[in-house]
Amino acid sequence: MSNIKAGIIGTGGISVHHTNGYKRVPGVEVVACCDIDEAKVKAYAEKHNIPRWYTDCREMMEKEELDVVSVTTWNSAHKDCTITALRGGAHVLCEKPMAMNAAEAEEMLAVSKETGKLLQVGFVRRFGSDVEAFNDFRDAGMLGDIYYAKATYLRRSGCPGGWFGDKEYSGGGPLIDLGVHVIDLVRYLAGCPKPVSAYGATYNNLGKDRASGSEQAWSSLDDTGYKYNIEDFATALIRFDNGLTLSVEASFNLNVKRDTGNVSIYGTKGGVNMSPFEIYTDMGGRFVNVSPAQNVDFDFVQIFNAEMKGFIDTVRGEQPCKAPAEDGVELMKILDAVYESARTGHEALIK
């Protein structure tokens, strides 16, 4: 496949990184876009020089001959839009979280298998240069066996607003929106072990007023018409079948001094801090902090460009898929289990 025709479903904030990412890959052109908001999709098509626009993705898939489609809608539309695009003959890159829950994700995976079309999940952190550096150190044996990880993604006052706060559209709060990135990153770095259980708690103590009233608020939630009914903080301990345990914390609203996002991984020979990237290990009888001389910290634009290029390379048969739908399903099982445990107060088993 030399010339690849791409389409976008959902022309909001993150879709711009998909559109720009496609345009940077030689032999790929973005020929159509779709959004249920007509004014928005029209303006988007004009701004990004996309020849055709639609307000219904079924119509787009019928009229266009698309090789690849990005699904960048709000979470509750991921399943239907992805299935429509797969059945319409396209390979799909669906943003994270893959779906609202594991049952939806499994349905999407089944259609990908049935149609023989690739379904990649938007686990963009897998494409960072920090991940490449981590793999080099791990493969050189500097970490030993990895058995514990800590993943933190905390915002003091950072609900993006609108549908992100409304469970009907988002499926949940910071756990499904932010936690998903760092939980997947840990799982990926640890070699994708199978999750076996989760023990979690969620809170909504600060809520909507905090999100809209703070100086550092990401956006006002007052003028959207959406409900605010998600957790604003989640914490969990997740166990994997290789013995790894992961402690995770994610917030939109929390009385934390400043916003932080980090993953730390601990092995029998060394530990890694991802942001900023540092390795702690024993050398010459001393405990040392080793950091690559070259900056490998993740960069938002770089990882999206790498993700889009990786997706196209996989479609062209040039590399295996780095973020397959199977991993999206495993992640949704973890998130479901954390929410279930938070509801029941007991550990939830994952099958």
Binding site for ligand NAD (CB under 6 A): 9-15, 34-37, 40, 57, 72-75, 77, 81, 95-96, 122, 124, 177
> Smallest distance from the beta carbon of 246 to ligand NAD, in angstroms?
20
Whole-number minimum distance, CB 302 to ligand NAD, in Å?
A: 13
Of 96 and 187, which has the nearer Cβ to ligand NAD? 96
CA–CA separation, 141 vs 158, rounded Å?
38
Buried b (16+ CB within 10 A) or exposed e, 94-112: bbbbbbbbbebbbbbbebb
> Which residue has its beta carbon closest to ligand NAD?
12
Q: How far is the CB of 54 from ligand NAD (least distance, A)?
A: 9
Question: Whole-angstrom Cα distance, residue 288 to residue 71?
Answer: 44
Nearer to ligand NAD, 97 or 207 (CB): 97
Torsion of CA 259, 169, 49, 69, to 10 degrees: 100
Residue whose CB is less far from ligand NAD, 143 or 189: 189
Q: How far is the CB of 213 from ligand NAD (least distance, A)?
A: 22
What letters, b where the CB count within 10 A reaches 16 and e where it falls short, cover 274-299?
bbebebbbeeeeeeeeeeeeeebebe
Closer CB to ligand NAD, 279 or 306, in the complex: 306
b/e burial code for range 257-268 (CB count within 10 A of at least 16 → b): eeeebebbbbbe
Q: Identify which of residues 73 and 115 has a Cβ nearer to ligand NAD in the complex.
A: 73
Nearest approach, Cβ of 55 to ligand NAD (angstroms)?
8
Instruction: Provide the minimum distance between the beta carbon of 72 and ligand NAD in the complex, in angstroms, as a whole number.
Output: 5
Burial class for 318, CB neighbours closer than 10 Å (0-12, 13-18, 19+): exposed
Of 244 and 338, which CB lies nearer to ligand NAD in the complex structure? Answer: 338
The CA distances from residue 219 to 162, 216, 252, in Å, are 9, 9, 12
CB of 74 to ligand NAD, least distance (A): 5
CA distance 296 to 320: 23
Cβ proximity to ligand NAD, 47 vs 269, nearer residue: 47
Q: How far is the CB of 292 from ligand NAD (least distance, A)?
A: 24
Long-range contacts, stretch 283-288, CB < 8 angstroms, 24+ apart? none
| Residues listed for the chain | 351
Q: Which is nearer to ligand NAD, 178 or 244 (CB)?
A: 178
The two beta strands, 195-203 and 348-349, are: antiparallel
**DSSP 3-state assignment of 253?**
strand
3-state SS, residue 314: helix
